[in-house]
Amino acid sequence: MFTGLIEALAHVVAVEPHGPALDLTLEIPDTLPERDTARLGDSIALNGCCLTVVRITGPCWTFQAGTETCSRTNLKLLEVGSAVNVERSLRPSDRLGGHFVQGHVDDVGYVDTVSQDGEWTSIWFRVPERLTRQMVPKGSVTVDGVSLTLVHVEDDRFSVALIPHTLQVTTLGQRKRGDIVNIETDVIGKYMEKMLTGLSPDLPPR
C-alpha cells in the first residue's frame, strides 16, 4: 500500500529485456529517506507500479517487471536516463497525506493537453471510458504514482491542476502532449462501481 506522495526521482541505469518481461535497474538518490536500509524483497512503487527489489548494488536497485506489468504500464518504455517516480510502501504509523494507492496500475492514459494558469499547470489526460466511470470531481486518482485531485471528469478524459512543487519533484513536470502515463483509479471507486453494477439491472456491465 502507498500514498501517492513521491519521495524521490530516480534514474534508469540499465534495462535488460527478457522476452516480454524486463529487469530495471535504477540509481536511487540519497534524498530518498532510509535509502541505505533497503532490503531485498522490499515493495517499491515505480511510476505507481508496485515492484519488488531483487538486487541491491550500492545505490542501485534492480526490479523485475513481468509480462502483465509491461503490458499494462509505461515501464516498458523506460530507457537509460529516464526519470522515475519512487515511493516506498506505507507503514502503519505513517501519515496518510495522499490517498490509499495499491500500486496496481489499471491501464495507461495519454497526456491530452497541457496549459499554464499562472504558476499552476492544468493537464488533461485521455483514458479508457471504463476508468472515468470510477472517477468523480474532487476525488482522487493516481497518475504515474502521484496522488492527484480530480478537477473535471468527462467520458474519456479528466483534468488535474498541479502546483509548482509537484511539477518540480515528480515526472509530471516533464510530461507533454502524447506522453503515456500509468493510471490507477481510487479503490473506493472500484468497489462502488462493482456494487452498483451488481445490484442494479439498469447499469451496463463493465
Dihedral sign for Cα atoms in the order 167, 173, 179, 182? negative
Per CATH, the architecture of 107-197 is what?
Beta Barrel (2.40)
Give percent of the chain above pLDDT 90: 80
- Report the predicted TM-score, pTM, of the whole model to 2 decimal places: 0.90
Q: Identify the band that residue 95 occupies on the pLDDT scale cut at 50, 70 and 90.
A: confident
Radius of gyration (C-alpha) of the chain in whole angstroms: 17
Question: How many CA atoms within 13 Å lie on the side-chain side of 103?
Answer: 19
Q: Which residue has the higher pLDDT, 95 or 23?
A: 23
Per CATH, the architecture of 8-88 is what?
Beta Barrel (2.40)
Cα(123)–Cα(121) distance, integer angstroms: 6
Q: Can you tell me the mean pLDDT for 137-152?
A: 97
Is 107-197 in the same CATH topology as 8-88? yes
Lowest-pLDDT range, 44-48, 61-65, 187-191? Answer: 187-191
Q: What cell was used for 6?
A: 513521491
Give me the residue spans of the domains in the chain. 8-88, 107-197
Residue 42: closest CA among 32, 29, 31, 56: 56
